[in-house]
Amino acid sequence: MGLTEAIVYAIKQCPVNMQPHLYNNIVIIGGSSKFQNFKERIIKDVRSCAPDECNINVYRPEDPIVEAWKGGQLLAGWPGYQNTRVTRSEYEENGPSVCARKLYDSIPVNNT
């Protein structure tokens, strides 16, 4: 599976009503995103796989190499982060399902 297929596959795993928003907000980071015409290639390739009615927008931050670290910094500063961490022993005891359970249990639900 190539990068374009991975992007489209990931978007198609989400609820249908969210998919147009995700096609319109693709973010590419990492050193490879700095290759010449990389962004334009992603736009062209995703456009060929996406529904015609969806807008395709690809954003590359000014310094895409450090952007993942910035995201990690934001996550670590999130007040609920401590409740989402999975220790090695928890993972070994419960398997991968503990990751989803801890993440979903930590998301506040607004029932109003």
DSSP string covering 34-46: GSTTHHHHHHHHH
Helix (H, G, I), strand (E, B) or coil at 55: coil
Backbone angles phi, psi at 52, to 5 degrees: -60, -35
Q: Distance of CA 49 to CAs 56, 60, 65, 88, Å?
A: 11, 20, 27, 39
**How do residues 20-59 score in pLDDT, each as one tens digit?**
999 999 999 999 999 999 999 999 999 999 999 999 999 9
Helix (H, G, I), strand (E, B) or coil at 76: helix
pLDDT band at 108 (very low <50, low <70, confident <90, very high): low
Q: What is the pTM of this model?
A: 0.69
**Rounded average pLDDT over 55-70:** 92
As beta bridge partners, residue 40 has: none
